[in-house]
């Protein structure tokens, strides 16, 4: 979050979560932060829900990952809420709109955040704000991986962490594309959820030799990496595709290009252009609004309990998306 110098009499405060040092979840501490003021081209969002991704727990722990920020900072990369103010030169028609937006990596665990107007997504009618929040990052990520792999109807695909935020959406998207879905996850509760979401087969990769229980597959969605990602790779044959988009295990699968080529497997990656990211997000929101994609909100925590939410995620105790409940809708909206 940028710190602005304001004369004392203008300084207004809001509730937020501070990250003062990297470490275990207890480093996330509730406190007060200066109320953001939207600058030119920005909108102010009154936050109802903030999303937490697995990557955010890794950033909090070590400072590593895609986010940057000088400590102390207010973390949080995704918000859902209502636009309550606009900066100079920003379209006033955005006022009162229900939106979701990334923050660029900081400022999300707070009552209000100023974000570029060009980066917000209006929440389609028929989609609740919390559902839109559950889809913002995870839906975009899942759609981009699906588009990289392009499963054909009837192909067998394996989804790792299939009950997680991204995984629970990938199971549904791959199924909708006509694929036969093998859901891999840890424990019976997660496997049951994957089945409910449409998986044809399930396998618990906490069991030794779990790949021995699975017939070969045409594609692997690898969000876990490490030993699980490498074992999943062994299920692929000529013409197979593997997309590695995460390292929940703490380590990328890191399949050497030569090993993949020798097997006839393509290591593919999701497109990362701003246009592709925007299109994937809009697609996920539209599919959910149309009732074809179901975001799974597994856990909700009050803003002040962000530390407990992080602890739950990194202990692998969560399913689907974890949200922070931040504020009520602005009065005019109720
Ligand atoms: N959310 C996004 O927008 C986004 C963007 C880019 C990349 N990614 C990557 O996608 C992956 C999934 O992200 P997510 O936010 O949807 O998380 P998530 O799947 O909700 O949570 C991570 C899951 O990974 C599995 N896991 C396997 N080994 C683990 C280990 N050693 N420690 C902890 N968890 C382990 C756990 O499920 P089981 O118990 O079933 O194994 C856990 O629930 C992550 O690797 C993340 O870095 C996500």
Which atom of ligand 1 lies closest to the CA of 165? 16
Distance 11 CA to ligand 1 centre (A): 39
Cis, peptide link before residue 72, omega less than 30° from 0: yes
Atom 20 of ligand 1, residue of closest alpha carbon? 164
Atom 46 of ligand 1, residue of closest alpha carbon? 246
Average pLDDT, the chain: 95
Domain presence at residue 275 = no
Domain presence at residue 286 = no
CATH for 33: 3.90.180.10
- The pLDDT assigned to 233 comes to 98
Q: What domain count does the chain have? A: 2
Q: Structure pTM?
A: 0.95
| Mean per-residue pLDDT, 313-325 | 97
Atom 38 of ligand 1, residue of closest alpha carbon? 186
CB 246 within 8 A of CB 269: no
Say whether pLDDT at 267 is over 60: yes
Say whether pLDDT at 190 is over 50: yes
- The pLDDT assigned to 44 comes to 98
Residues 175, 240, single domain; the answer is yes
Quickly tell me which residue has 């917000």 as its tokens.
120
Residues 249, 197, single domain; the answer is yes
- The pLDDT assigned to 65 comes to 83
Distance 159 CA to ligand 1 centre (A): 11
Backbone angles phi, psi at 161, to 5 degrees: 45, 50
- The pLDDT assigned to 5 comes to 61
Cis, peptide link before residue 74, omega less than 30° from 0: no
Return the higher-pLDDT residue of 330 and 39. 39
Residues 147, 259, single domain; the answer is yes
Say whether pLDDT at 332 is over 80: no
Distance 58 CA to ligand 1 centre (A): 10
pLDDT band at 227; cut points 50, 70, 90: very high
For a ligand 1 pocket test, name from 54, 192, 232 the mutation site with the most ligand atoms within 8 angstroms of its C-beta: 54
CB 228 within 8 A of CB 254: no
| Mean per-residue pLDDT, 34-46 | 97
Whole-Å CA distances, 294 to 9, 25, 45, 164, 297: 46, 29, 25, 13, 9
- The pLDDT assigned to 1 comes to 47
Residues 92, 171, single domain; the answer is no
Say whether pLDDT at 110 is over 80: yes
pLDDT band at 9; cut points 50, 70, 90: low
pLDDT band at 212; cut points 50, 70, 90: very high
Q: What percent of the chain has pLDDT over 90?
A: 93
- The pLDDT assigned to 83 comes to 98
- Residue range(s) defining the domain that contains residue 159: 136-268
Residues 108, 143, single domain; the answer is no
Q: Cα–Cα distance between 154 and 92 in angstroms, integer?
A: 48
Residues 236, 155, single domain; the answer is yes
Which atom of ligand 1 lies closest to the CA of 318? 43
CATH for 189: 3.40.50.720
Atom 28 of ligand 1, residue of closest alpha carbon? 249
Domain presence at residue 114 = yes
Residues 162, 251, single domain; the answer is yes
Domain presence at residue 276 = no
Distance 224 CA to ligand 1 centre (A): 6
- The pLDDT assigned to 249 comes to 95
Domain presence at residue 130 = no
Residues 217, 308, single domain; the answer is no
CB 99 within 8 A of CB 122: yes
Atom 43 of ligand 1, residue of closest alpha carbon? 316
- The pLDDT assigned to 67 comes to 85
- The pLDDT assigned to 334 comes to 46
Domain presence at residue 248 = yes
Domain presence at residue 127 = no
- The pLDDT assigned to 8 comes to 59
For a ligand 1 pocket test, name from 52, 132, 224 the mutation site with the most ligand atoms within 8 angstroms of its C-beta: 224
pLDDT band at 127; cut points 50, 70, 90: very high
| Mean per-residue pLDDT, 80-95 | 97
| Mean per-residue pLDDT, 219-226 | 98
Closest CA to 178 of 154, 200, 143, 162: 154
Domain presence at residue 282 = no
Ligand 1 site residues, Cβ closer than 6 angstroms: 53-55, 137-138, 141, 161, 163-167, 185-186, 190, 223-224, 245-250, 316, 318
Atom 31 of ligand 1, residue of closest alpha carbon? 249
pLDDT band at 207; cut points 50, 70, 90: very high
| Mean per-residue pLDDT, 204-229 | 98
- The pLDDT assigned to 68 comes to 81
- Choose the weakest-confidence range: 1-5, 50-54, 252-256: 1-5
- The pLDDT assigned to 291 comes to 97
Atom 45 of ligand 1, residue of closest alpha carbon? 246
């Amino acid at each position: 979050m940028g710190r602005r110098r304001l004369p004392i009499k203008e300084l207004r405060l809001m509730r937020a979560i501070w990250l003062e040092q990297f470490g275990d979840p207890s480093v996330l501490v509730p406190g007060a932060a200066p109320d953001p003021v939207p600058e030119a081209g920005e909108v102010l969002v009154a936050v109802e829900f903030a999303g937490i991704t697995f990557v955010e727990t890794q950033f909090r722990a070590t400072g590593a990952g895609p986010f940057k920020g000088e400590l102390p900072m207010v973390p949080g990369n995704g918000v859902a809420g209502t636009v309550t103010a606009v900066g100079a030169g920003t379209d006033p028609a955005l006022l009162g709109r229900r939106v979701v937006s990334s923050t660029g990596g900081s400022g999300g665990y707070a009552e209000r955040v100023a974000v570029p107007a060009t980066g917000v997504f209006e929440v389609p009618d028929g989609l609740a704000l919390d559902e839109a929040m559950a889809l913002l990052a995870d839906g975009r990520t899942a759609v981009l991986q699906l588009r990289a792999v392009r499963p054909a109807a009837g192909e067998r695909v394996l989804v790792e962490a299939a009950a997680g935020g991204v995984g629970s959406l990938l199971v549904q998207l791959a199924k909708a594309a006509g694929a036969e879905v093998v859901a891999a996850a840890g424990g019976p509760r997660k496997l049951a959820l994957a089945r409910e979401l449409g998986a044809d087969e399930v396998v618990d990769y906490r069991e030794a030799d779990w790949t021995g229980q699975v017939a070969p597959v045409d594609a692997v969605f690898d969000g876990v990496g490490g030993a699980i990602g490498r074992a999943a790779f062994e299920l692929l044959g000529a013409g197979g595709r593997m997309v590695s988009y995460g390292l929940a295990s703490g380590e990328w699968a890191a399949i050497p290009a030569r090993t993949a080529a020798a097997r006839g497997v393509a290591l593919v990656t999701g497109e990362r252009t701003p246009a592709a990211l925007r299109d994937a997000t809009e697609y996920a929101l539209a599919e959910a609004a149309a009732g074809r994609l179901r975001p799974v909100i597994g856990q909700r925590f009050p803003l002040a309990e962000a530390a407990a939410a992080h602890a739950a995620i990194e202990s692998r105790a969560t399913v689907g998306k974890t949200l922070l409940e931040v504020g009520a809708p602005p009065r005019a909206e109720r």
